[in-house]
Copies of this chain bind each other. A is one copy, B any other.
Amino acid sequence: MTTLNLGMVGAGRIGQVHAANLAARVPGARLVAIADIAFEAAQKLAGQYNVSHAYDNPEAILDDPAIDAVIVASATDTHPAIIEGAAAAGKHIFCEKPIARSLAEIDGALTAVDKAGVKLQIGFNRRFDANFARVRRAIVDGEIGQPHLLHIISRDPGPPPLSYIRVSGGIFLDMTIHDFDMARFLLGSEVVEVYTSGAVLVDPAIGEAGDIDTALVLLTFASGALGVIDNSRRAVYGYDQRVEILGSGGAIQTENKYPNAAIISTGDHIRRDLPLHFFLERYADSFALELAQFVEAVVHDRPTPVTGEDGRIPVVMALAAAKSLHEKRPVRLDEIAPV
């Protein structure tokens, strides 16, 4: 297989990122079709990157025998059906997170994938970020010994629209889910229990919509390590994405990414510009890299770097975190589902 032909379902914000990366930064891949129920969006994106076909439905992609793999970048509630359809059609799948909002749907989709024997990769792009990949490498290489304590700081520059918050499944499913993935990825150990403390401090309307905007989630790992995730829907200085691990032999911590490294000294203070504002800028390279590795995994018939199970467990963690917040007690993951 010299070039991998891909079809993409979804021409929204993240679909646009994938289309741009496939055009320029993913060797060995060609995007040949884009489908979106908003047909004009599909057409426009296809035109922009010389993609041959634009459709208003995913079936056109699933039915095209020339397409080797499908990128699922549509709304979350459409994921399971598209995954199952793609699996049935024998196409490999790259699916945005979360796979679905219910474990039943996820399990159904994963079963279909397993049965079909196609490859599945979940879009946890942060694993491919240079900072977090470096942290993971430090753990794997033993640079800091056995991990004892983990901090994940993960704050958005501002809350999403209330309309989104009302349907997103809550902060744990729409925001913390990335941090849940990061926690188990970085430490290489599963979380067995969570305890959640949450508050509405950013905007009361978020509370009225049934969600929280500020959270600390304690994690207990199977390895014995402890961790904490710090989430806020609003850090006025921009996107704040850092991790820190204390190990038996040292510690590693990461800084944010900045548009430049200039330091300005005035009569008032020493200052620098704000960090890269949000995830599209901050994680630009990681979006390219995750697709490149998906293409490599398919082309060379290797396991994908983020499996279906990697997509399922963070959802279990999110459900446990929500239960802990609601019941004000530590919740074991196996209370939610076998993991």
Name A residues whose Cβ lies closer than 8 Å to a Cβ of B: 23-25, 130-131, 133-135, 138, 143-144, 146, 148-149, 151, 155, 195, 197-199, 201-202, 214-216, 218, 220, 224-228, 230, 232, 234-237, 240, 246, 248-257, 259-275, 328-330
Contacts and interface: CB of A to CB of B under 8 A. Distances in A.
Number of copies: 4
A254 B131 CA distance: 21
A317 B237 CA distance: 33
Contact of A138 (B230, B237, B251, B262): B262
A151 B249 CA distance: 22
A-B residue pairs, 5 tightest by C-beta: A24-B24, A237-B265, A255-B261, A271-B271, A250-B266
A266 B237 contact: yes
A273 B232 contact: no
A325 to B, nearest CB: 11
Contacts of A144: 264-266
Contact of A149 (B230, B254, B275): B230
Contacts of A215: 226
B256 A261 contact: yes
A250 B237 contact: yes
16 contacts: A131-B260, A131-B261, A131-B262, A133-B260, A138-B264, A143-B266, A148-B202, A149-B232, A197-B220, A199-B224, A201-B248, A237-B270, A250-B264, A269-B274, A270-B273, A329-B329
Contacts of A269: 271-274
Given A201-B225, A252-B263, 18 more contacts: A23-B24, A134-B262, A135-B262, A138-B264, A143-B266, A149-B214, A149-B230, A149-B232, A151-B230, A201-B224, A202-B248, A218-B218, A232-B246, A250-B266, A252-B264, A267-B274, A270-B274, A329-B329
A236 B195 contact: no
A270 B214 CA distance: 22
A251 B157 CA distance: 12
B250 A267 contact: yes
Contact of A252 (B24, B134, B252, B262): B262
A260 to B, nearest CB: 4
B134 A267 contact: no
B230 A228 contact: yes
A257 B230 CA distance: 25
A228 B259 CA distance: 27
A225 B273 CA distance: 26
Nearest to A23: B24
B197 A218 contact: yes
